[in-house]
Amino acid sequence: MTNRIDEKFNQLKAEKRGGFIPFIVAGDPNLRVTKDLILELARNGASLIELGVPFSDPVADGVTIQAASERALKNSVSVKAILEIVADVRAENCRVPIILFSYFNPILQFGLHDFAESAVRSGVDGILVTDLVPEEADEFRALLNDQGLALIMLAAPTSSDQRLRKICQKASGFVYAVSRAGVTGARTALSGDAESLVGRLRNFTDLPVAVGFGISNAAQVLETWKYADAAVVGSAIVAEIARLTLIMDENSEEFTEKIGAFAAHLLPQ
């Protein structure tokens, strides 16, 4: 079954260009603005969009995304509300693939079967669960597969080849290669581990590989495209949202446009 993720990566491959995947936290600064930001990012070059589900203990995230999750939770953002926002985006005829980036607990609380059905109904295309290991992924993977949803798996530079093989066997849509050990966060220079990891992953899967964690400018996106199929930029965009929230009305059209322009400048010219 082909979904929007497969279609997008097939298109990128045919056009011989890399993908750009911005990440934002749902509900930061609020859910109405989240909808506007998704649409704005889609208009400003996003190939796919990762939508973070706020969680109280985001152990894989650095301080920037942790703070955004805290702000979103203060707005009482729930999985149900996030899925409703995705449905609203789809009602605006937005075709950009949307991936939920979550920890397992919020999904488990929602109910795995109900979540899979609700996610596909809302227009979600794939799920990345940061703390779901391949040995424990079969039930959830089967539920997602029944609905035509991708299960994106994380792969780290510290993983053995044996483990990378297991990760690739469970993954669909694409594999998310973590550029370095540690948590999310913008960096001035990319780790050399990323290119090596992508090369190792190519031995075990034909799926596209996206690289994230630490990519924060157009030069790094371009560098990543030399060996990977897509680059993920999260903390840099989330930090810009936080910065602008302090100095202007986040509910204004200008706010949304400024974030869109910031994202556009992350694309190599």
| Structural domains of the chain ordered from first start | 4-151+216-264 (3.20.20.70)
Q: How far apart (Å, rounded) are the C-alpha atoms in residues 178 and 215? A: 10
pLDDT at 179: 85
Contact 22, 233 (CB under 8 A): yes
Distances (CA, A) of 122 to 115, 141, 153, 163: 10, 18, 22, 33
In 26-157 the beta strands, taken as DSSP E runs, fall at 49-52, 98-102, 126-129, 150-155
Cβ neighbours, 10 Å, residue 177: 31
Q: Examine the residue annotation and report whether 146 is marked as an active-site residue of this protein.
A: no
Helix (H) or strand (E) holding 112: helix 112-122
pLDDT at 186: 46
Q: Which residues of 205-222 are buried (b: 16+ CB within 10 A; e: fewer)?
A: bebbbbbbbbbbbbebbe
Give per-10-residue mean pLDDT for the chain (269 aa).
89 98 97 98 98 85 87 92 98 97 96 98 97 96 98 96 98 93 49 90 98 94 97 96 97 98 96
Residue among 6, 40, 61, 88 flagged as catalytic:
61
Return phi, psi of residue 108, to 5°: -65, -40
Q: Examine the residue annotation and report whether 117 is marked as an active-site residue of this protein.
A: no
- Non-local (6+) Cβ contacts of 200 within 8 A are 161, 164
Residue type, position 23, single letter: F
Residue among 28, 40, 50, 223 flagged as catalytic:
50
Token pair belonging to 132 = 């779901």
pLDDT at 31: 96
Cβ neighbours, 10 Å, residue 64: 22
pLDDT at 1: 52
The DSSP string of 229-258 is SEEEE-HHHHHHHHHHHHHS-TTSHHHHHH
